[in-house]
Chains A and B, each alone.
Chain A
Amino acid sequence: MRTYWTLTRRELGAYFLSLTGYIIIAAALFLMGYSFVVILDKLQHGRTSIPVTELFYNTEFFWLILLPTTPLITMRLFAQEKFSGTFETLMTTPVKDLEVVLAKFTAALMFYTVMWLPLVGCMLVVRHYANDASILDAGVVGSTFLGVLLLGATFVALGCFASSLTRNQAVAAMISLVLGMSLFLLAFLADRFADGANWQAQVLACFTLFDQMHDFARGVVDTRAVVLYTSLSLFFLFLTLRVVESRRWK
């Protein structure tokens, strides 16, 4: 447990010791602010009964932030250490493979959460100027952040897996971007089958990330989505662990 925290601290610190972390946060912040302006502009053209959070997730900005930033956050996790050789010094200390994988995942997820924090600020601005405290319901904000976190966990775990496959950060980023995009686009494939009641449609319907996030933003916590994201995260972490262990199989 102690090694786990030591490693997590180191991994999280690494984001803030290099420029990458700041650039990612700056880019995310810019996109968040930009989408916020777009939402405010919409609100000026008339009243709406839709929660602010839902408005935000109905814009494509959420996905524009999530899809490219998670590969950028996760690409360095294993690839950089393998490239610079520090993976060797790491794995020759008495650490367990599981601790390494979990610590890297935790640090990346923490960084991802930090990246989304400015969103709270945007919401507070809306509340301040709307002169209406009820405009932001704690439950809705909570479920929105739960959704952001769960989806993030899935994509970060996927990125961990991609990063463990290679020693080249760019390749790691591309693999996780392609896998992430494919997962995301399943939602649109599911749309094509919307009427069909066959099993393919039912399976695909489980992967409509787009709609599920929409639910979270409306304050609906759907257990199916929670289970899906948790199990996908665990699945990718398991794969990562196997890749890290595979060094010992050869």
Chain B
Amino acid sequence: MNDGLMIEVANLTKRYAGHTAVSNISFTVGHGEIVGLLGPNGAGKSTTMRILACYLPATAGTVRVAGLDVFRRSDEVRRRIGYMPENNPLHLDLRVREYLMFRARLKGLNSENSRRRVETVMEQCGLTEVSRRIIGQLSKGYRQRVGLADALVHEPELIILDEPTIGLDPNQIRSVRQLIKGLASAHTVLISTHILPEAEMTCNRMVIMYEGKILAAGTPENLQRLMSHNSQIIAEIAAPPDELRECWTQMREIDQFDVSPCQGEYFRCALTPHDGLDLRAQVYELARKHGWGLRELTRSRHSLEDIYVQVTRPEEEEEEEEEEEEEEEA
């Protein structure tokens, strides 16, 4: 019935008094995937996660985790989920080990299993040396690891992490990412973030949300390919410009080109290949054949950053910017 799917979200809508946080979204996540929910603040990522974690009810639509409806069989679903909310709330008055023991017991582990699992997750998250410290006195990086350890302690099938790297320094971010990547084999992971490189680095698949809707979904490569029809090849070649133009016109893979003089005898050629093809090898071959000097050959691809900005930037903002630019020019 669940077709090997860990999460099935169908036509999910969540309305709060006065505004719609999530409107009619659908997506699925398979077993063992790491999926990133990506979007600016207020896009509905946290709401979606809270519904998945059985904290909030959906206004409409169905949400299943491991084939179980999150509303009707909430108890069983909660047993299978390790959830770390935004800002990672913890009991600051407890020691690390005490807290994890408490959480393990709450999640239904018996005392022997709790002890065993707490030791394991503390090791996994690098908490062993701070196990006797009070959580309130730990640095943010360590607290985040405590939150992760808590999410892992009952060996859940699905781990939901809401902005797990927010507010950390680059080193801490790297170690948390490493940890998340390490989970991939045994668990399904859903993480949310508004930082794109994070999703790009850790996730197999991304779902880009904006204003409660899904704008794009797919693997990072697919999303890139989607946009790559705009990619360009830049080559700086020392050759007579006419010959260059001639060559580019003859190459059938090139839709458009532009040749402009550069320093010295070099000319800068900006080539727009058909269908985003990578023509660097051909260009090099051409230069070699003619004995032309070649000092730069790059392919400028739209990074996911561009895609992200493009799909999530409000239209008004773009217009405003354009207007501003026009004003400045005037």
Contacts and interface: CB of A to CB of B under 8 A. Distances in A.
A224 interface: no
B67 interface: no
Interface residues of B, number: 32
A32 B108 CA distance: 42
B89 A85 contact: yes
Nearest to A14: B93
Interface in B129-159: 150
A94 B89 contact: no
A17 B94 contact: yes
A148 to B, nearest CB: 28
Contacts, number: 69
Given A94-B75, A248-B57, A18 B106 contact: no
Nearest to A2: B105
B106 A86 contact: no
Interface string B237-267: 0000000000000000000000000000000
A249 B53 contact: no
A3 B106 contact: yes
Contacts of A249: 57
Contacts of A247: 55-57
Given A2-B105, A6-B102, A6-B106, A92 B89 contact: no
Interface string A76-100: 0000000011101111111110000
B83 interface: yes
Q: Which interface residue of A7, A14, A88 has the most chain B CB atoms within 10 A?
A: A88
Interface of B: 16, 50, 53-57, 71, 75-76, 78-79, 81, 83-87, 89-94, 102-103, 105-108, 110, 150
16 contacts: A2-B108, A14-B91, A17-B94, A84-B92, A85-B86, A85-B87, A86-B89, A92-B83, A93-B107, A94-B107, A95-B106, A247-B57, A248-B57, A249-B57, A250-B16, A250-B56
Given A6-B102, A86-B89, 6 more contacts: A2-B105, A14-B93, A88-B89, A89-B85, A94-B78, A96-B75
